[in-house]
Amino acid sequence: MSYVSTKEILIRARKEKFVVGAFNAVDYTTIAAIVKAAKEKRSPVIVQTSQKIVQYFGYKILPEMIKSLAQDADVPVAMILDHGTNLGVIENCIKYGWSSVMIDASSYPFEKNIEITKKVVEMAHKRGVSVEGEIGRIGGKEEHVIVEENSTLLTDPEKAVEFQRKTGVDSLAVAIGTKHGLYGGNCELDFNRLGRIMELSDFPIVIHGCSDLPIEDTRRLVSYGPSKMNISTEIKHKYLDSYKSYIGENPDEYEPVKTIRFVENEVKKLVEKFIDIFKSSNKA
C-alpha cells in the first residue's frame, strides 16, 4: 500500500484509536520530509496542499511528487486539498490526481453548506476521491481562510451527524475551540463538546488548528479518538526558521543541497514528533 485516499486510513484510525497526522507541505523539501518521517515511523500520513500552493505549482507536479515518494516509502500516503473554497480548484484537484479533497463551505448557512458539500461529494466519489467537509467555524488564519474570534462557531454535535448523513462526506472537521495559527499560550478547548461528537458519530472526525497547542491538550485531544489532526503553522515556521538558522550559522556556504538537507531533516524530526504523539507509529 502506498498512495491512498484519506477514507482508507481514517476509518481504520477511528476503529483502532490512533490519529493520522495531516501536515501541510509547501514544496518538494517539505513533502519529502513528511513522507520520509512516515516511512521511518512506519506510519500512515496525509500530505496537505493549500489552495495557494496548488495555484503556485499547478495541478500536475504536486500529485506526481507525492505519488513517487509514496511508492518508495511503502507506507499509506494520502494527499488532500486543505480548505478548498474554490470549486474550480477542487474540481481540478479531483481531475489531476489528488486522492482526497476538503470542501470548506463553513462560512455559509447550514443548509447551503450541505448543498455545496454534497455537490463536491458527488463529483469526487465518481472518481474514487474521498471528501472532508466542515461544520462550525474554526477560528484563526489559514492562508486565505480568515475567521475572527467573534465569528467562530463551535460545532453542534447533533448537527454534525445530520450534516454527514445528508452530504455523504467521508470525514468531518469540527470546531471545538482550536484555531489556525499560533496560540501564544491562550487556548480553551471544549472537550465535552468533542466527547459528545465522538459519542454520536461513527465516521472519522477531524481537528484543525493543532499547531502550537500545549502538549497536554494535544494528548488529551488524541485520547478522545479523532481520526485526523492537522499541523500547518508549525511546519511553515520550522521550514523557514531552519533556513534562517543554517544560513546564519554558515554565512559562507553556497552549496544549496546542504541547506536543503538540513531543512528537510528539521521538518522530518517535527513530523516524527507528532506521529509519536498521535500514536500512529507502526500502524502502516
Active-site annotation, residues: 82
Q: Give the Cα separation of 72 and 120 in Å (integer).
A: 31
Largest CA distance in the chain: 60
CB count, 10 Å around CB of 149?
8
For 257, the grid coordinates are 543541497
Q: Parallel, antiparallel, or unpaired for β 130-135 and 100-103?
A: parallel
Q: Give the Cα separation of 118 and 132 in Å (integer).
A: 11
CA angle 101, 118, 79 (to 5 degrees): 10
Q: Give the Cα separation of 230 and 232 in Å (integer).
A: 6
Q: Which of 10, 172, 46, 162 lies closest to 105, judged by CA?
A: 172
Q: Which of 21, 24, 29 lies closest to 266, judged by CA?
A: 29
In sequence order, the 6+-apart residues with CB closer than 8 A to the CB of 178 are 138, 139, 187, 189, 207, 208, 209, 210, 213
